[in-house]
C-alpha cells in the first residue's frame, strides 16, 4: 500500500520543481501507529505533480491550509535531522 | 472560560456578577501586595505521579489534537503556559505561547520578540548561543492560566497568587532549575534551541482567521514529561468570536490599560475591551477635563506593553455606557469627526497575526493604530453644542413614569 504524506506549499504550486531532489517538511498521514499521525520531518525527496509517478502519495496544502483537489506523488530519499 | 459567568466562577465570585463587578475585583486583587509562591515536596505534587525520561518522554504519547482541519500540525499547547527564567536576573516568567508538536522530541511555536520570554530568548539566549530551559504547564488551574496570558508587569507566579488570594504551590522540575505548579495535570520539560528554527503554522487564530504565515519559529526540545494519573489536557479552539482567547485577553488587556491610565491621573470612568473585536478595539470613557485628553490616552495605551495586541481606541465621554455597544456605536457615528476625530499611527508595532496587515507587514511585525475621538471639542459655544435627545432626558419625570407604568396598557410588550 502506498503511504500518504502531506506538505505545505507556500509559493505558487506551478513553480515547484518536479523530479529533482528537494528538501521539504512532510507529515505522516498513514503511520503504523496511529498516535503518530501528523508527525513532521524534514526530508530529501523527489516529487511529481502526477499522482502515479512515485510510490507514495503527497497531498498538498497551500499557505493557509487549503487542500488541493488532486494529490501529487513523492519518493522519500532520506529524513534530514536539523539537530 | 468563554463567558463572563464562567470567569466569575473562576474568580470565586457570584456567577451573576456584572462585568464591572468582575473588573473591579480583578483590579483590586492585582493591586494588592504580590503573593509569592511556596515550594512543596515532589511527594505532595500530583504532577509528579508519573515521571517519564529518555525515550519514554515521547510527545506522541500525549493526545495533542488537530484543533482545526488544515492547521500546520497538532497543537498540544493552546491553554497552558511556558515557565522560564531570565538568565541574568533569574526573574520568573509564565507566558501562554502556543506550541505545535513536530516530532517525538520536538515542538515549535511563535515566541514574539516583544513578549517577556521573547526578550529573554531572542535578546539573551540567541546572541549567546545558549539553550534556554523551559517547562510547559499543560492544564493548570484557571487563575494561573489567566495570569499567564495577562499583560501585567508582575511575575505571573505572584500574579496568580494575588488572583487566588493565597500562594500558588510549586515543585522543582526534574531536569532543570525551574519550578512548576504542583497541581498541574502535565509538565513537559526541556530546552529551547538557540540556533535552529523550524516551520510552524498555519493555525486558526484568536482573530477568527488563519493569518500568520508558516514560518521558521522557536524550537522546544523535550527531556522529560511528568503527569498526574489519568491526566487531562486543556484545549482552546480559537475561531470567530467569542471564545476564551478573546474574552479573557480582552478582560485583562482592558483592565491593565485601566490601571495604567489611572496611574497617570487621567480622569477615566472605565475601560472596556470588546471581546467581539478579538481584543482589537477598546472603549475608554473619560471626563473631558482638557483638550487633547483622547490623544493622551491613545499615546499611553499604544505606547505600553499592551500596544502590540490591539489597534483601535474609541474615547467617549463620561455619560456614555462603555459596556453598551448601542451607545458606543451611536457616539462613534455621531461625535467622531471623520477627519479631525481620527488620528492615525503609521509604522507602529504589530504582530504576524493581524489579518488587516499586508503579508510583508506580518512578517516584520509591523502594524498601524487608530484613535477615534468621540468627544465634542471644549471650545464649541454651549448654544452650538448638540444636545442629546432621549426619552430619559427630554421629558419631565412624571410623564416618563406615567408612560412607563401604562406601557402594557397601551398594548405594547415590555
Ligand atoms: C491561547 C493563547 C495563545 C497565545 N499564543 C501566543 C504565542 O504563540 N506567542 C506569543 O508571543 N503570545 C501569545 N499569546 C499572548 C500572550 O500569552 C500574552 O501576550 C501574554 O501576556 C504573554 O506574557 P508575557 O507578558 O509574559 O510575555 C497567546 C495568548 C493566548 C490566550
Ligand atoms: Mn511576563
Nearest CA to ligand 1 atom 24: B116
Question: String of b and e for B276-310 (b: at least 16 CB within 10 Å)?
Answer: ebbbbbbbbbbebeeeebbebbbbbbbeebbbbbb
Q: With H, G, I as helix, E, B as strand and everything else as coil, classify residue B346.
A: strand
Decide if pLDDT at B414 tops 90: no
Q: What is the pLDDT of residues B336-364, one digit of tens each?
A: 999 999 999 999 999 999 999 999 999 99
Rounded Cα distance, B273 and B278, in Å: 9
By C-alpha distance, the chain A residue nearest B62 is A35
Of B71, B193, B214, the CB nearest to A63: B214
Q: What is the pLDDT of residue A1?
A: 82
Candidates B199, B212, B223: best to mutate against A (most CBs of A within 10 A) is B199
CATH class of B34-227: mainly beta
Percent of chain A with pLDDT over 70: 100
Looking at ligand 1, which atom is closest to the CA of residue B95? Answer: 23
CA of B69 to the centre of ligand 2 (A): 31
Contacts of B68 in chain A (CB under 8 A): 65
A80 phi/psi in degrees, rounded to 5:
-110, 125
Architecture of domain B244-381: 3-Layer(aba) Sandwich (3.40)
Rounded Cα distance, B26 and B17, in Å: 12
Rounded Cα distance, B343 and A45, in Å: 52
CB–CB contact A82 B104 (8 Å): no
Percent of chain B with pLDDT over 90: 99
Contacts of A37 in chain B (CB under 8 A): 74
Percent of chain B with pLDDT over 70: 100
By C-alpha distance, the chain B residue nearest A36 is B60
Q: Residue holding cell 499521525?
A: A37
Q: Is the CB of residue B149 below 6 angstroms from any atom belonging to ligand 1?
A: yes
Rounded Cα distance, B2 and B308, in Å: 23
Q: Is the CB of residue B236 below 6 angstroms from any atom belonging to ligand 1?
A: yes
CB–CB contact A65 B71 (8 Å): yes
Decide if pLDDT at B218 tops 90: yes
CA of B149 to the centre of ligand 1 (A): 6
DSSP string of B30-52, one letter each residue: HTS-----EE--GGG-GGGSEEE
Decide if pLDDT at B281 tops 90: yes
Q: Is the CB of residue B227 below 6 angstroms from any atom belonging to ligand 1?
A: no
Q: What is the pLDDT of residue B1?
A: 87
Output the pTM of the full model. Answer: 0.97
Nearest CA to ligand 1 atom 11: B112
Angstrom CA distances, B268 to A24, B88, B293, stand at 54, 38, 10
Which residue of B115, B144, B153, B349 sits with most ligand 1 atoms within 8 Å of its CB, as the best mutation to test the pocket?
B115
Total H helices, total E strands in chain A? 0, 5
Across residues B140-164, what is the average pLDDT?
97
Decide if pLDDT at B268 tops 90: yes
Rounded Cα distance, A3 and A30, in Å: 6
Amino acid at each position: 500500500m502506498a503511504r500518504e504524506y502531506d506538505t505545505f506549499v507556500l509559493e505558487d504550486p506551478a513553480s515547484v520543481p518536479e523530479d529533482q531532489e528537494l528538501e521539504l517538511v512532510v507529515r505522516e498521514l498513514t503511520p503504523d501507529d496511529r498516535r503518530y499521525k501528523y508527525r513532521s520531518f524534514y526530508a530529501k525527496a523527489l516529487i511529481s505533480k502526477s499522482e502515479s509517478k512515485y510510490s507514495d502519495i503527497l497531498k498538498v496544502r497551500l499557505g493557509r491550509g487549503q487542500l488541493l483537489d488532486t494529490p501529487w506523488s513523492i519518493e522519500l530519499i532520506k529524513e534530514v535531522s536539523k539537530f | 472560560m468563554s463567558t463572563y459567568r464562567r470567569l466569575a466562577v473562576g474568580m470565586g465570585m457570584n456567577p451573576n456578577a456584572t462585568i464591572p463587578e468582575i473588573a473591579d475585583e480583578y483590579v483590586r486583587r492585582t493591586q494588592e501586595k504580590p503573593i509569592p509562591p511556596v515550594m512543596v515536596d515532589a511527594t505532595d505534587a500530583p504532577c509528579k505521579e508519573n515521571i517519564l525520561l529518555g525515550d519514554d518522554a515521547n510527545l506522541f504519547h500525549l493526545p495533542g489534537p488537530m484543533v482545526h482541519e488544515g492547521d500546520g500540525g497538532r497543537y498540544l499547547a493552546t491553554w497552558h503556559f511556558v515557565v522560564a527564567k531570565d538568565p541574568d536576573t533569574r526573574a520568573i516568567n509564565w507566558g501562554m505561547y502556543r506550541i505545535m508538536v513536530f516530532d517525538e522530541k520536538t515542538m515549535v511555536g511563535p515566541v514574539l520578540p516583544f513578549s517577556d520570554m521573547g526578550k529573554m530568548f531572542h535578546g539573551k539566549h540567541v546572541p549567546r548561543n545558549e539553550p534556554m530551559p523551559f517547562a510547559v504547564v499543560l492544564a493548570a488551574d484557571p487563575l494561573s492560566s489567566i495570569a499567564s496570558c495577562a499583560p501585567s508587569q508582575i511575575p505571573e507566579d505572584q500574579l496568580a497568587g494575588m488572583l487566588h488570594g493565597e500562594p500558588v504551590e510549586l515543585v522543582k522540575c526534574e531536569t532543570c532549575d525551574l519550578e512548576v505548579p504542583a497541581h498541574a495535570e502535565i509538565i513537559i520539560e526541556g530546552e529551547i534551541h538557540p540556533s535552529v528554527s523550524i516551520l510552524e503554522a498555519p493555525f486558526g487564530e484568536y482573530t477568527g482567521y488563519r493569518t500568520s504565515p508558516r514560518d521558521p519559529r522557536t524550537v522546544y526540545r523535550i527531556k522529560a514529561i511528568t503527569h498526574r494519573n489519568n491526566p487531562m489536557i486543556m484545549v482552546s479552539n480559537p475561531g470567530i468570536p467569542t471564545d476564551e482567547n478573546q474574552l479573557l485577553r480582552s478582560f485583562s488587556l482592558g483592565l491593565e490599560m485601566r490601571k495604567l491610565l489611572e496611574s497617570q491621573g487621567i480622569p477615566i470612568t472605565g475601560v472596556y475591551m470588546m471581546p467581539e473585536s478579538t481584543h482589537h478595539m477598546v472603549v475608554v470613557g473619560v471626563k473631558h477635563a482638557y483638550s487633547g485628553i483622547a490623544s493622551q490616552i491613545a499615546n499611553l495605551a499604544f505606547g505600553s506593553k499592551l500596544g502590540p495586541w490591539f489597534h483601535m481606541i474609541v474615547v467617549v465621554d463620561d455619560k456614555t455606557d462603555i459596556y453598551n455597544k448601542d451607545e458606543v456605536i451611536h457616539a462613534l457615528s455621531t461625535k467622531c469627526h471623520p477627519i479631525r476625530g481620527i488620528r492615525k499611527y503609521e509604522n507602529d508595532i504589530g504582530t504576524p497575526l493581524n489579518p488587516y496587515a499586508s503579508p510583508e507587514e506580518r512578517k516584520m511585525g509591523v502594524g498601524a493604530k487608530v484613535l477615534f475621538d468621540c468627544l465634542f471639542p471644549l471650545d464649541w459655544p454651549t448654544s452650538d453644542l448638540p444636545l442629546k435627545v432621549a426619552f430619559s432626558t427630554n421629558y419631565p419625570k412624571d410623564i416618563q413614569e406615567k408612560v412607563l407604568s401604562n406601557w402594557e396598557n397601551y398594548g405594547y410588550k415590555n
